[in-house]
Amino acid sequence: MADIHIEAAKKNIEQKGFLDIEIDVNLDLFSEIERLKKEKNAIILAHYYQEPDIQDVADFIGDSLGLAQQAEKTKADIIVFAGVHFMAETAKILNPHKKVLLPDLKAGCSLADSAPAQLFKQFRDKHPDHIVISYINCTAEIKALSDIICTSSNAQKIIESLPPEQKIIFAPDKNLGAYLKKKTGRDMVLWNGACIVHEIFSLEKITRLKIRHPKAKVIAHPECEEPVLRVADFIGSTTSLLKYSMQDDAQEYIVATETGILHQMQKESPHKTFIPAPPENMCACNDCPYMKLNTLEKLYLCMEYEEPQIIMDENLRAAALKPIQRMLEISHRYGL
């Protein structure tokens, strides 16, 4: 590690989850990050919910499936994951010999937190004849207890690839699970977890917005609650929402997902208007507080010092790899 003492840096990361080192305000972080990418053969993978500056320096921006697929095929020595912990962990599971960095280790996820491994194991053991399909938004421990991983981009295809009589547990997102039950007609047992961001949208405020913008289409992520999905003109994963906004001919959209995606929507269709769906209260709760823990400064520091990094137990990694590989194989088969 360059000019700070390794032990002090490790302590700093243990306490705060990120490196807390003063950065010269005159430093051009964009060109510094580009320099570090080349010097270290590093790739930056960023989720659409990251702040605009991070999206602009990333080598690849995507949804959870796209990011896992990029992580699987990258030739870089270092993967810098601008996203949340379960995403960086997935990249590490796929790349045990590469360094995987996460700018802030405390970038968690309410969905992942909603499924503690011990309780989930008891739940699974009560349904021994069920296959476990887990949404990728879960810990490595939950992945290791699952048969197949899915994302919002491939969940329907994965469920439909199983014989109709196959009993299924779907975890941890009850909203996505309920949406998929309706879409596929399959009677799945659902774990009771949810995303704090996608549960916050106010149907009442969306209805009022629609009155003021009668031509606006409502587009929503399937992690939203059923009443919001009912008024949506289009439902899809983050990437599908972006593609829809590019291909559809409406001029205005009310977007019911995390606000970070509006950056790419606006970049791709500068002549269109994108209105974030309003939350229940006046806070910025449609910003994911975990995703937004990553900043350009933390991204720069983690690349400079190659910390904090994802470290995993090898047995856990090997067990969590199998259901991820099954997901990637099925996605490949369907051209997803």
Note the residues at the interface with ligand SF4 (CB under 6 A).
49, 84, 109-111, 137, 195-197, 258, 288, 290-291
Minimum distance from CB of 65 to ligand SF4 (Å)?
13
Rule CB under 6 A: say whether 137 interacts with ligand 13P: yes
Q: Which stretch binds ligand 13P (CB under 6 A): 73-81, 119-127, 150-158, 321-329?
A: 150-158
Of 95, 110, 114, 238, the one binding ligand 13P (CB under 6 A) is 238
Comparing CB distances to ligand 13P, the nearer of 237 and 286 is 237
The phi and psi torsions of 273 (rounded to 5 degrees) equal -110, 130
Sequence-distant (6+) residues with CB within 8 A of 182 are none
Chosen from ligand SF4, ligand 13P, none, partner binding at 196 (C-beta under 5 to 8 Å by type): ligand SF4
Comparing CB distances to ligand 13P, the nearer of 12 and 175 is 175
Q: What mask, x for binding ligand 13P by CB under 6 A, covers residues 194 to 233?
A: -x---------------------------x----------
* C-beta pairs of 35-41 under 8 Å, 24+ apart in sequence: 36/300, 36/303, 36/304, 37/303, 40/77, 40/78, 40/303, 40/306, 41/76, 41/77, 41/78
Comparing CB distances to ligand SF4, the nearer of 160 and 199 is 199
Structure tokens at 261: 């995606």
Chosen from ligand 13P, ligand SF4, none, partner binding at 200 (C-beta under 5 to 8 Å by type): none
Minimum distance from CB of 50 to ligand SF4 (Å)?
11
- What does the DSSP 8-state code read for residue 278? P
Q: What mask, x for binding ligand 13P by CB under 6 A, covers residues 61 to 90?
A: --xx--------------------------
- Give the position of tokens 């243990």: 14
Cross-strand bridge partners of residue 157 = none
Q: Which ranges of the chain does DSSP label H, i.e. alpha helix?
A: 6-16, 29-40, 52-57, 64-73, 85-94, 110-113, 117-125, 140-144, 155-160, 174-184, 203-212, 226-230, 238-247, 261-268, 296-305, 314-333
Chain residues binding ligand 13P by CB under 6 A are: 63-64, 137, 151-153, 195, 223, 237-238
